[in-house]
């Protein structure tokens, strides 16, 4: 049912202005009246050219990243090396106490961090809170288990440089930074260009107050890559993003012999072969659309045995029709809780248009549209800007000429490919030369055991989705989806520390591939 437009309004206390003023009250050193500051050399600087930005949820003007030039970025890297040399000699108990105090501060300001994520990157309230909680809970696990992980290991010669995408500022980027610091390294992070700058600024302000040697800078990748990737002071480059940018980073770090872990995109696939448990599949379909599939572990491709296609549709279509999208902060009554939505907008209007154009082009070239949602059924404010929203779309057989055939859409677009043989199934599931996760739904365990090792994904589920994981769970990728050291669990610590001479850490390197 469509929500009556004139019945909705912003929940009191959740406006961007409310969030900004709360940030200024909590961390006045990091937030000016109309912009955030950069943090380097242990000091907050009102430098860089602040660009205008708008929220994807309704076009509200918000703070943009204050872009530094390359000279200032190089100065920030040199200063981080000085911090690193002091921090790496600090006793582990002291590092642990400071990281634990940072986690306490993040917990105290959990709701504000979550609200910033809603405004800056469009996450619904439930998912925004989950992003913050996963960061806090995940790092607490490392605080409790770090002693054994660091036995016989030492910090890197220089700080860790973090370049990450915008979709998980807390549970991926802040999580990694705090574990890197716990392991004895100073850390540098570049704010994502597309969103998350205020959330990251607040998190870094809380960490900086506890004495964590963190540097936070903003700027374009082209302008800052020389400093953040190639500088001799850098001990490791940690990257999360697309294959094109990742390939350029990989070339640079390989030339320099620099430690690195580069998580890149891949087309994660879900195969259906000799399968009959349709209620279990139907139950999981809505969950696969969390955050509009703007996740590195989203499943945008189903590879379905042709003889099961009618049964697949009977399970899939009713489930996808239940999806709720809309404004994450709109309520019918001020006392109502924030709405429970599957997803809100894409990261910006340009991405929504790009993906809509790809869908239209694929249909023009022969793809069959099986389902398209309608914004008229969304949960929106009266007259709000909805240009960044894209409703769920399902296409059968995208043509090989379409990007939707071989690349991750990073939006709520599912594609379905029909196959008749196991060989076709495996070829279709391996369409992108490596992926992070995959799933095979089949009734026969022996069939799964035989086919799963031939699927080129780091994690393969049997009838269940796989995720990046938390705490002790390892993470990496096959083929072009990953370069450098694998992470997760103890591997995250090993990736940013030095062990015995001649050590070969698990990962996907130019000269070797070693599974954990």
The pLDDT confidence band at residue 303, using thresholds 50, 70 and 90, is very high
Spatial strand order of the sheet with 413-419 comes to 368-372, 393-396, 413-419, 301-305, 269-272, 435-441, 457-462
Superfamily of domain 19-264: Aldehyde Dehydrogenase; Chain A, domain 1 (3.40.605.10)
pLDDT in tens, 489-504: 999 999 999 999 999 9
Residue 74's pLDDT band, with cuts at 50, 70 and 90, is very high
Question: CA triplet 396, 241, 454: central angle to 5 degrees?
Answer: 55
**Per-residue pLDDT at 1 exceeds 60:** no
Question: What is residue 253's predicted lDDT score, i.e. its pLDDT?
Answer: 79
pLDDT at 244: 77
- Report which of residues 279 and 225 the model is more confident about: 279
Each residue of 170-190: pLDDT tens digit?
Answer: 999 999 999 999 999 999 999
Amino acid 257: pLDDT: 80
Task: Give the pLDDT of residue 270.
Answer: 98
When the pLDDT of each residue in the chain is averaged and rounded to a whole number, the result is 95
Q: What is the pLDDT of residue 6?
A: 53
Torsion of CA 230, 233, 237, 241, to 10 degrees: -50
Give domain limits for the chain.
Answer: 19-264, 269-462
- From CA 125, how far away is CA 116, in angstroms rounded? 10
Q: What is the rounded CA–CA span in Å between residue 508 and residue 513?
A: 5
* Helix (H) / strand (E) containing 513: strand 513-514
Architecture of domain 269-462: 3-Layer(aba) Sandwich (3.40)
**pLDDT band, very low/low/confident/very high, at 511 (cuts 50, 70, 90):** confident
Closest CA to 72 of 187, 216, 193: 216
What are the tens digits of pLDDT across the range 116-170? Answer: 999 999 999 999 999 999 999 999 999 999 999 999 999 999 999 999 999 999 9
For 274-412, list the strands marked E by DSSP: 301-305, 330-331, 368-372, 393-396
Q: What is the pLDDT of residue 256?
A: 77
- For the segment 78-101, the average pLDDT, to the nearest whole number, is 98
> What pLDDT shows up at residue 5?
45
């Amino acid at each position: 049912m469509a929500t009556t437009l004139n019945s909705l309004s912003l929940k009191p206390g959740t406006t961007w202005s409310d969030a900004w003023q709360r940030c200024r009250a909590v961390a006045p050193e990091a937030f000016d009246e109309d912009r955030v500051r950069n943090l380097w050399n242990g000091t907050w600087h009102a430098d860089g050219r602040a660009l205008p930005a708008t929220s994807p949820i309704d076009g509200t003007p918000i703070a943009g990243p204050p872009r530094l030039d390359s000279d200032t970025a190089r100065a920030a890297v040199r200063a981080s090396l000085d911090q690193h040399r002091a921090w790496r000699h600090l006793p582990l108990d002291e590092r642990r106490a400071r990281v634990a105090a940072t986690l306490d501060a993040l917990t105290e300001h959990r709701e504000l961090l979550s609200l910033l994520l809603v405004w800056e990157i469009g996450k619904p309230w439930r998912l925004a809170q989950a992003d913050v909680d996963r960061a806090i809970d995940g790092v607490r696990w490392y605080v409790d288990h770090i002693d054994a992980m660091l036995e016989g290991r030492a910090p890197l010669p220089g700080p860790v440089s973090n370049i990450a995408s915008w979709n998980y500022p807390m549970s991926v980027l802040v999580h990694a930074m705090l574990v890197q610091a716990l392991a004895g390294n100073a850390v540098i992070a570049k704010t994502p260009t597309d969103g998350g700058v205020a959330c990251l600024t607040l998190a870094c302000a809380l960490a900086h107050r506890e004495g964590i040697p963190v540097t936070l800078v903003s700027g374009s990748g082209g302008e800052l890559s020389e400093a953040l990737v190639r500088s001799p002071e850098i001990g490791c480059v940690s990257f999360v993003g697309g294959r094109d940018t990742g390939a350029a980073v990989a070339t640079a770090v390989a030339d320099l012999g620099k430690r690195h872990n580069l998580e890149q995109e891949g087309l994660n696939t879900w195969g259906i072969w000799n399968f009959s448990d349709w209620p279990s599949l139907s139950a999981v379909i809505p969950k696969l659309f969390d955050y509009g599939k703007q996740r590195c572990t989203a499943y945008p491709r189903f590879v379905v045995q042709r003889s099961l296609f009618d049964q697949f549709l009977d399970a899939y279509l009713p489930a996808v029709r239940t999806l709720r999208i809309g404004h994450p902060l709109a309520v019918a009554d001020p006392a109502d809780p924030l709405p429970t939505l599957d997803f809100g907008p894409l990261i910006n209007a340009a991405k929504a248009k790009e993906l809509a154009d790809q869908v239209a082009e694929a249909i023009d070239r022969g793809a069959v549209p099986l389902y398209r949602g309608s914004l008229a059924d969304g949960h929106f404010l009266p007259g709000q800007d909805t240009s960044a929203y894209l409703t769920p779309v399902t296409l059968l057989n995208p043509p090989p000429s379409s990007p939707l055939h071989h690349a991750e859409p990073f939006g709520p677009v599912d594609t379905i490919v029909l196959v008749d043989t196991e060989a076709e199934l495996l070829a279709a599931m391996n369409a992108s030369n490596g992926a992070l996760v995959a799933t095979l739904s089949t009734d026969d365990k022996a069939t799964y055991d035989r086919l799963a090792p031939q699927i080129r994904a780091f994690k393969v589920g049997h009838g269940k989705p796989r995720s990046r994981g938390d705490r002790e769970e390892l993470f990496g990728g096959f083929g072009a989806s990953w370069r450098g050291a694998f992470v997760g669990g103890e591997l995250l610590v090993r990736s940013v520390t030095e062990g015995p001479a001649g050590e070969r850490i698990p990962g996907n390197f130019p000269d070797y591939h070693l599974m954990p």
